[in-house]
Amino acid sequence: MKRSDAPESTSTPSGDASPPASAHEGQLVASPALGENGAVPETQVIGQTPASTRATRQALTGRAARELPSVSASPIQLTWRQLRKNRMAVLGGVTLLLMYAMALFAPFLAPYNPTNQSPGGQNLTFHPPMRLRFVDRAGKFSLHPFVYQTQQQFTEERDIIYPPVAEQPRPLRFFVRGSDYNLFGLIPTNVHLFGVDNGYVYLLGTDQEGRDYFSRLLIGSQISLSVGLIAILITFTLGMLVGGISGFYGGVVDDIIQRGCEILMSVPDFYLLLALAAALPTDWDPVKVYLLIIVILSFVGWAGMARIVRGLVLSVREREYVEAGRALGVGDFRLIVRHILPSTFTYAIVAATMSVPAYILGEAGLSFLGLGIRDPMPSWGNMLSTAQQLSVLERYEWILAPGFMIFITTLAFNFLGDGLRDALDPKSRKLG
Amino acid sequence: MLRFILKRLLLLVPLVIGITLVSFFVMQLAPGDYLDALRGQPQIRPETIERLRREFGLVENPTLWDQAKQYGRWLGNAVRGNFGFSFTYKIETFELIKQRLYYTFILSLWATVFSWVVGIPLGIYVARNRNKFGDRVANFVAFAGISLPGFFIALLAMKLAQQTGWFPVGGAQSVNYESLSQLGKIKDTGWHMILPVLVLGTRGVAGLMRQMRGNLLDVLSENFVLAARARGLAERKVLYKHAVRNSINPLITLFGYELSGLLAGAALVENVMSWPGLGRLLLESVQAQDLYVAMGAFVMGGVLLIIGNLIADILLAVTDPRIKFS
């Protein structure tokens, strides 16, 4: 827990795992009494609301105070308690944390450079995954894993096969020096978690160009996982703003914006994605493409968000505190952004969490069709695109690995989002 | 009722025009045009390209005004039923889209039927067995179903087809399709359709099951259910005559929504499983910058979606007497 909350921590302790900012949002929405203060900056909330709560609590003594547990728990804390009970949601959250940590440390965890076509010294295409072995030929067990090197051979059908050679065990070495990279994009280093001397280790095999699939999967996670998050941030901001303006002003402004949203929403999303992504020139550099894919994903998604927010704003704008703000001469924009929108945050955040998978799937789908992130940059979607060739699908099943990663990520997001919604919605709390 | 439908149909006109506008300008975003690919080929003479350019009504380095004129011309023709022609296939766009639309339509239709026929009873079952083992398993499976990317299931399905030989590996027709009898043709298409329908329907089954479970649980906790039980109605009657009916209504609005996902999912599944549908046509035409086909496919997708929503509204109005046609 952050000590910066200290002044209010005695009366309204915020949830352990939640940063102050979200505690702030949670309070504003879930308890209308506190919400009356609108979205006034945090310092003021700290100054005002807890003071009144503290006064109430001081008036109560001993037993009476204990009978009011809801006073001592902030809404965010209630939500957290509720969420913690949902095992699948917690599991989802933990999985996501691990996934994102993995993406952050990807170049360190990956033994090779994801674009190197002969990471082990020679170019080996469609090399099958290697098994980590613990028992050597003599039947002796050791905790130190090793892999057998392989011998490239051609079958009569002219397929390439790689039978392992037992005479050439290569123990895994940890913290080895390999290809150069920048950790977090900042620290130049060449230390990798593991690797082998005089040979190669392909935990997930290699792809059609002989690149290490495990390294590509890890580096690819950086793109696949970040696209969803950044896109949802843009969608969220845009949707909030447009929805807020639309709902606040009503009338002609609302009509125009709503008709625009309707048109956007009347086109099947993926069709629009397809058409937009296909417009990207093929010779652009990968970073530019990456950024534009994010913009496209957000562009396609914001209308839905704007719709939801508009509906919420319509009801909020009639509240007294908005009226009061107006009477005090608060400008429209400030009123919308600082006072009205924060009270729609909770719903919007849940809606956002629930829709992250859609963005991840959108990127994966586009890249899969060759319209998104392009080779040699790896993304889970474009790695799978090789599997579209029937011969590859038939023989090299490890190519499907990124599909399972996408599946696990979306599953985790869905469990977390579902848990969040249940935790925030008192109605479903009852039903369980 | 008729007035309501007519009014709704009339409201669709500006919406469809909006979609055409979006589609046209999205297509214009891409640099160059269809002829670029031809220009790259040395064996095609510049005069031929110039002739084609005039024939297609394309302008080199068009200004905004040129584009507006081109759009106006297209819209004018489209109103009269002429949607332009395909640069690649050299046939009327309308003919091309008609075939493809048919395939996407039957695929989506059967996927919808599949997901409702399986999803709703499953939803009722798990709601009745709330928090029991079956419910938990079904819940987890449903989550998995929602989370599996459609194109990934499609890939897995293709692998299954490859390895077992039970189903055709992609496509919509066997090689000998033309020589088959009428019944044989239907059987053949049906056989090819099984896997794509299962793949597309999975998500729907999972989603509908969860929704139905939630709705039914909500309704079962309402007073009229309590009253019905208190009056001594048979549990079967309480459930199917009162509770289930009331919990299906909200799902009907979902139907229109589902259709959007279905079309989107179909676009990817069609590509993986070589199903000759609208989504595949869109991808092909967009990549070839076959302008009018792409616009046609795009607009058709939109129209399909809007009609789906309209049908959902009408169905809702029919099933729920509280809704007034206005």
Per-residue pLDDT tens over the stretch A367-419: 888 888 887 888 888 888 888 887 777 788 888 889 899 999 999 988 888 88
Nearest to B298 among A271, A368, A414 (CB): A271
Name residue, tokens 């004129």: B69
Q: How many CB pairs under 8 A join A and B?
A: 141
Q: Which residues pair with B131 in a beta bridge?
A: none
B19 contact residues in A (CB cutoff 8 A): 263, 266-267
Residue scoring higher pLDDT (B243 or B51): B243
pLDDT tens-digit readout, A324-337:
888 888 888 888 88
- Gap from B152 CA to chain A (nearest CA, Å): 6
Select the residue from A87, A99, A267 to test the B interface by mutation, using most B Cβ atoms within 10 A: A267
Q: Is the pLDDT of residue A45 over 50?
A: no
Q: What percent of chain B has pLDDT over 90?
A: 0
- Interchain proximity A268–B15, CB inside 8 Å: no
Q: Is the pLDDT of residue A355 over 70?
A: yes
Name residue, tokens 């008036």: A59
Question: Mean pLDDT across chain A, nearest whole number?
Answer: 74
Q: What percent of chain A has pLDDT over 70?
A: 81
HSE toward the beta carbon, residue B202, CA cutoff 13 A: 24
- Gap from B95 CA to chain A (nearest CA, Å): 20
Q: With a threshold of 0.90, does the pTM exceed it?
A: no
- Interchain proximity B265–A270, CB inside 8 Å: yes
Nearest to B159 among A278, A393, A431 (CB): A393
Q: Is the pLDDT of residue A2 over 50?
A: no
- Interchain proximity A414–B302, CB inside 8 Å: no
Residue of B nearest to A409 (CA): B147
A269 contact residues in B (CB cutoff 8 A): 260, 264
Q: Is the pLDDT of residue B53 over 80?
A: no
What do you get for the CA distance between the two ends of chain A, in Å? Answer: 29
**Pairing assessment for the beta strands A173-183 and A133-135 based on DSSP bridges:** unpaired
Nearest to A267 among B14, B22, B221 (CB): B22
Residue of A nearest to B259 (CA): A268
A364 contact residues in B (CB cutoff 8 A): 149, 151
Per-residue model confidence (pLDDT) at position A98? 93
- Average pLDDT (A167-196) is 78
Q: Is the pLDDT of residue B29 over 90?
A: no
Q: Is the pLDDT of residue A57 over 60?
A: no
What are A190-197's contacts with CB under 8 Å, separation 24+? A191/A108, A192/A107, A192/A108, A192/A109, A192/A110, A192/A111, A192/A112, A193/A108, A193/A109, A193/A111, A194/A111, A195/A111, A195/A112, A196/A147, A196/A170, A196/A171, A196/A172, A197/A170, A197/A173
Per-residue model confidence (pLDDT) at position A426? 57
Q: Is the pLDDT of residue B239 over 50?
A: yes
Residue scoring higher pLDDT (B60 or A313): A313
pLDDT tens-digit readout, B89-135:
777 778 888 888 888 888 888 888 898 899 888 888 888 887 788 88
Lowest mean pLDDT among A9-23, A137-151, A212-226, B43-57: A9-23
Q: Which residue type, as a one-letter code, is found at position B193? A: M
What ipTM, to 2 d.p.? 0.79
- Gap from A269 CA to chain B (nearest CA, Å): 6
Do residues B55 and B86 make contact, with C-beta atoms less than 8 angstroms apart? no
A410 contact residues in B (CB cutoff 8 A): 146-149
Give residue B325's pLDDT band: very low, low, confident or very high (50, 70, 90): low
pLDDT tens-digit readout, A73-118:
677 777 787 778 878 888 888 999 999 999 888 888 888 888 877 7
A281 contact residues in B (CB cutoff 8 A): 30-31
Q: Is the pLDDT of residue A38 over 50?
A: no
- Gap from B182 CA to chain A (nearest CA, Å): 30
Give residue B212's pLDDT band: very low, low, confident or very high (50, 70, 90): confident
Residue of B nearest to A422 (CA): B214
- Interchain proximity A259–B18, CB inside 8 Å: yes
Per-residue model confidence (pLDDT) at position A16? 35
A387 contact residues in B (CB cutoff 8 A): 155
- Gap from B319 CA to chain A (nearest CA, Å): 24
Residue of A nearest to B285 (CA): A275
Do residues A394 and A267 make contact, with C-beta atoms less than 8 angstroms apart? no
pLDDT tens-digit readout, B270-315:
888 888 888 888 888 887 777 778 888 888 888 888 887 788 777 7
b/e map of B246-276 (b: 16 or more CB within 10 Å)? bbbbbbbebbbebbbbbbbbbbbbbbbbbbe
- Average pLDDT (A230-250) is 87
Torsion of CA B27, B28, B34, B39, to 10 degrees: -150
- Interchain proximity B286–A275, CB inside 8 Å: yes
Nearest to A403 among B152, B221, B306 (CB): B152
For the beta carbon of residue A382, count every other beta carbon within 10 angstroms: 27
Select the residue from B151, B275, B278, B307 to test the A interface by mutation, using most A Cβ atoms within 10 A: B151
- Interchain proximity A268–B162, CB inside 8 Å: no
Give residue A5's pLDDT band: very low, low, confident or very high (50, 70, 90): very low
DSSP state of B181: -
Per-residue model confidence (pLDDT) at position A43? 36
Lowest mean pLDDT among A43-57, A159-173, A375-389, A401-415: A43-57
Per-residue model confidence (pLDDT) at position A306? 86
pLDDT tens-digit readout, A110-129:
888 888 777 777 777 787 88
Per-residue model confidence (pLDDT) at position A100? 92
- Interchain proximity A279–B29, CB inside 8 Å: yes
Q: Is the pLDDT of residue A7 over 80?
A: no
- Interchain proximity A369–B18, CB inside 8 Å: no
Torsion of CA A221, A223, A229, A235, to 10 degrees: -150
Per-residue model confidence (pLDDT) at position B261? 67
Q: Which residue type, as a one-letter code, is found at position A156? A: E
B81: left (phi over 0), alpha (psi -120 to 50) or beta: left
Give residue A427's pLDDT band: very low, low, confident or very high (50, 70, 90): low
Do residues B33 and B291 make contact, with C-beta atoms less than 8 angstroms apart? yes
Q: Is B274 helix (H, G, I), strand (E, B) or coil?
A: coil
- Interchain proximity A266–B302, CB inside 8 Å: yes
Cα A153 to chain centroid, rounded: 42
Give residue B145's pLDDT band: very low, low, confident or very high (50, 70, 90): confident
Q: Is B85 helix (H, G, I), strand (E, B) or coil?
A: strand
Greatest mean pLDDT among A385-394, B37-46, B172-181 lies in A385-394
Give residue A425's pLDDT band: very low, low, confident or very high (50, 70, 90): low
- Average pLDDT (A224-247) is 87
Q: CA-based Rg of chain B, rounded to a whole angstrom?
A: 24
- Interchain proximity A270–B294, CB inside 8 Å: no
B156 contact residues in A (CB cutoff 8 A): 400, 403
Torsion of CA B172, B175, B179, B182, to 10 degrees: -20
- Average pLDDT (A27-39) is 32
Nearest to A407 among B148, B286, B305 (CB): B148
For the beta carbon of residue A423, count every other beta carbon within 10 angstroms: 21
Nearest to A266 among B19, B147, B159 (CB): B19
Alpha-carbon gap, residue A64 to B146, rounded angstroms: 47
- Average pLDDT (A340-355) is 79
- Average pLDDT (B58-72) is 75
Helix axes A401-424, A87-104, angle to 10 degrees: 130
Per-residue model confidence (pLDDT) at position A71? 55
Q: Which residue type, as a one-letter code, is found at position B68? A: A
Per-residue model confidence (pLDDT) at position A32? 32
Do residues B134 and B125 make contact, with C-beta atoms less than 8 angstroms apart? yes
Q: Is the pLDDT of residue A266 over 50?
A: yes
Per-residue model confidence (pLDDT) at position A94? 92
- Gap from B26 CA to chain A (nearest CA, Å): 6
User: In terms of Cα–Cα distance, which of A118, A124, A34, A43 is closest to A73?
Assistant: A34
Nearest to B147 among A263, A390, A410 (CB): A410
